[in-house]
A and B are shown apart, each in its own frame.
Chain A
Amino acid sequence: MSDLLIRGARVVDPSQGLDAQRDVLIRDGRIAAINDSGKGDKADRTLDAGGLVVAPGFVDVHIHLRYPGGDASETVETGTLAAAAGGFTSVFCMPNTNPTTDSPLIVRSIIDRAKEACGVRVYPVGAVTKGLSGTELVDFAAMKASGAGAFSDDGRPVATTDIMRRAMECTRELGAVILDHCEDLSLTGDGVMHEGPTAVRLGLAGIPRLSEAAFVMRDCALSLLTGARLHICHVSNAESVEVIRWYKSRGAPITAEVSPHHLTLTDEVVATGSNGRGSYDTHAKMKPPLCEESDRLALIAALEDGTLDCIATDHAPHSPASKSTLFDEAPFGILGMETAFPVCYTEFVASGRWKLPWLIERLTIAPARAVGIEAGTLRVGAPADLTILDLQGTHRFRESDLRSKSRNCPWIGADMKARIGATLVGGRTAFVHPDAAQLAPLSR
């Protein structure tokens, strides 16, 4: 492979406290050097990246590729392309597939598919219980040996407390982490959105905050009991935040993620509609549901004080046909990877609340640490997984910017103050924005 020199960009790598104009030299798919600009590094190809930002490729510990069995909404090919279009170079895909990702065979099948796709590193997440049944544990060691990056019954909770305890005893020995979807299904009942004034007004059945918080409490307690690493998925409300804060103060080995949509939207979007879609907007329907403004502010504060560790998208493609229906009949979930950085940058960095490196840390080294992978860094010798960010101007996010096979995105039509210019995995181009002329040399 030829060498590539990315010259003159602002290089932001929180893993080594770097935020300065540098030249990045890539050789044999790895970071070979990061030097002061103009030091005179030479390479076969040189890219002038002046005015742009180079960051480590983002890590998303919570996405759905829908493979196997869900190719009406996503494939490994479209899903990894969506990842690259969002700046993500490592993704953890959830096992609520058809059939369930609960055997080494399916784990390997996903990995094989990913090799034929755009290059984004795919870590299949194995199920905790066979068929997500909540009753019979999978063969954790065999799954891990075949490449499972973590374990989860995401989409459903492990409803029986004893089964969850036994699962955590197994994963602790393997040094594996459980990505925990916390939900008391009996409290959720028929609920389709957050239980609050908006649900009351719209006549929709509500999901109380306690549906999530009760299981966060149970599983944090199990983490203390077993010593197993637990990562709480998509924390959505103030009550769950309080529980996590308390258990972290007790030393429970837990981490937690929050999604861009829970950081930026509230349940009122169901009534007002995202970008002119009108009331009962199915693009505002997901689990856990969007909660109230007080919850949103609590989530932001919790991410800022470290109670929540990282940002993960819960990218959940659903075909246009399945979302073009009545609110209570539509499936839960929205897309997230293509918009994660632009949305968070626009809302929190362009507004002056956060510094750019702080946001990038929560998309790179923080999630990488949560799941224990070597990623999210530009240290010399590391794989050249990086993304080039364009923070100039305003860009209206269009449906055509989506690379996912689905369209269930509440930010179509929103004005963003950032876009992903290009994404490289192992030094190879995985994505180049079609409008970024400066980056055209990266196109193969």
Chain B
Amino acid sequence: MTTTAPPLSGRHLLQLEGLSAETITAMLDRADACVTASAAAETKPLPLSGRRLVNLFFENSTRTRTSFETAARRLGADVINFDLANSSVKKGESLLDTVRTIDAMQPDFIAIRHASAGAPAFIAAHTRASVINAGDGSHEHPTQALLDALTIRRRFGRLAGLRVSIVGDVLHSRVARSNIWCLCTLGASVTLAGPRAFVPESLAGFGGHSVRVAHDLASGIQGADVVMLLRMQLERMQKGLFPSLGEYHRLFGLTSERLDAHAPKAVVMHPGPFNRGVEISGELADSDRSLILTQVANGVPMRMAVLTVLDEARRAGR
């Protein structure tokens, strides 16, 4: 593959909002190349040899952190993991002090996960490294949406014109926001479905796109090509936003039966980890209509692509 992706205009990947279709497509193309190269077990000189990735995780996330780590190592970079979810750093030291400490280690990349929206932007303003948003509060999770787009594109050959339904707690979901930006930018049509507490009317027309909202599962997934499910958090129920996980499953839980009835051609996706018997039935998750494990597998090449594109942006910016 000789395609040279145009580097990101900036040296960070903080959000998919505002990225052009060309930029996103170039990153997906790059990821495709990584998948192919990996399948052919091609041995190449390691393009990120000598670079350093710091995984700065203020929230636990084994799978996202591992995926970044694997991607970086395959490209020859060193990886330092900071798991701060249970650390005194979280409260005792200010975030600014933490960032200054990390920056003194001269990392090339910082992948950050944080419970607060805007944390990656805050860090980007105080470091020389390229910052990759690995999930910030309810804001965005760009690499997840990119790997989702990669998964869909490898399945359908395109995104434009596809009908994608996102079902669940969209309001509190960073995965959903990044996916809406990504899918709409690439020409898919998006429907959001869930109880009103999770899919308020204010999400209609999100970001100026023709995003539709539905408050029942049937009309929410009617005729969809892809149904993306979001993880339902027990803590939302405990805060009184919705009666119970059982009630949620009764109204919005996806089963093969419901999928057959309303979206017989659709594939099912989930960013994981999923709750069997809540947002998705076990038999559907395990069926060949589920792309859940493909998503996990695509995480590594997608993050390899992100790291190399950012590395080019860094070098171009020097």
Other-chain contact of A326, B116, B177, B203 (Cβ < 8 Å): B116
B136 within 8 A of A: yes
Q: Report chain B residues within 8 Å CB of A197.
A: 202
Q: Is B76 an interface residue (CB 8 A)?
A: no
Instruction: Look across to chain B and name the residue whose beta carbon is closest to the beta carbon of A321.
Output: B94
Contact B117 A203 (CB under 8 A): yes
Encode B131-166 as 1/0 by CB contact (under 8 A) with A: 000001111100000000000000000000000000
Instruction: Please indicate the chain A residues that have their CB under 8 angstroms from the CB of B177 in the complex.
Output: 201, 203
The chain A residue with its CB closest to the CB of B137 is: A203
- A98 at the B interface (CB under 8 A): no
Q: How far is the CA of A205 from the CA of B239 in the complex (A)?
A: 14
A196 CB, min distance to chain B CBs, angstroms: 7
In the complex, whether A327 has a CB less than 8 A from a CB of chain B is yes
- The stretch from B118-126, B274-282, B283-291 touching chain A is B118-126
- Report Cα–Cα, A201/B17, bound state, in Å: 9
| Residues in A neighbouring B140, C-beta threshold 8 A | 203
Are B122 and A196 in contact (CB-based, < 8 A)? no
Min Cβ gap B271→A in Å is 15
Q: How many CB-defined contacts (below 8 Å) exist between A and B? A: 57
Give the residues in chain B near A326, CB-CB below 8 Å.
95, 114, 116, 118-119, 122
Q: Which residues of A contact B119 (CB under 8 A)?
A: 326
Q: Say whether chain B's binding surface is mostly helix, strand, loop, or mixed.
A: mixed
Distance A328 CA – B114 CA, assembled complex (angstroms): 12
Is A325's CB within 8 Å of the partner chain B? yes
Q: How many chain B residues touch A (Cβ–Cβ < 8 Å)?
A: 25
The CA-CA distance from A165 to B138 in the complex, in Å, is 40
Per-residue CB contact flags for chain B residues 90-101 toward chain A (1 = under 8 Å, else 0) read 000011100000
**Which DSSP category, helix, strand, loop or mixed, fits chain A's interface?**
loop
Chain B's closest residue to A322 (CB) is B94
B293 to chain A, nearest CB (A): 28
Give the complex CA separation of A203 and B125 in angstroms: 19
Please determine whether B206 and A324 come into contact, CB atoms closer than 8 angstroms: no
A325 and B138 contacting across the interface, CB-CB below 8 Å: no
* Complex Cα spacing A280 to B17, Å: 15
Q: Which residue of chain A lies nearest to B174 when distances are taken between CB atoms in the complex?
A: A203
**Mask for A312-329, Cβ within 8 A of B = 1, else 0?**
000000000100111111
A414 to B17, CA, bound (A): 28
Residue in contact with B121 in the complex, picked from A201, A280, A324, A329, CB distance below 8 Å: A280
Q: What are 28 inter-chain pairs, A to B, with CB distance below 8 A? A: A200-B171, A200-B202, A200-B206, A201-B177, A202-B117, A202-B118, A202-B139, A203-B117, A203-B139, A203-B140, A203-B177, A204-B117, A204-B137, A204-B138, A278-B121, A278-B125, A279-B118, A280-B117, A280-B121, A324-B96, A325-B94, A326-B95, A326-B116, A326-B118, A326-B122, A327-B116, A327-B117, A327-B118
8 new A-B pairs (CB below 8 Å) besides A280-B118, A329-B116? A200-B200, A203-B174, A321-B94, A325-B94, A325-B122, A326-B119, A327-B116, A328-B116
Query: Considering the complex of A and B, which 4 residue pairs feature the smallest CB-CB distances, nearest first?
Result: A203-B139, A280-B118, A203-B138, A203-B117
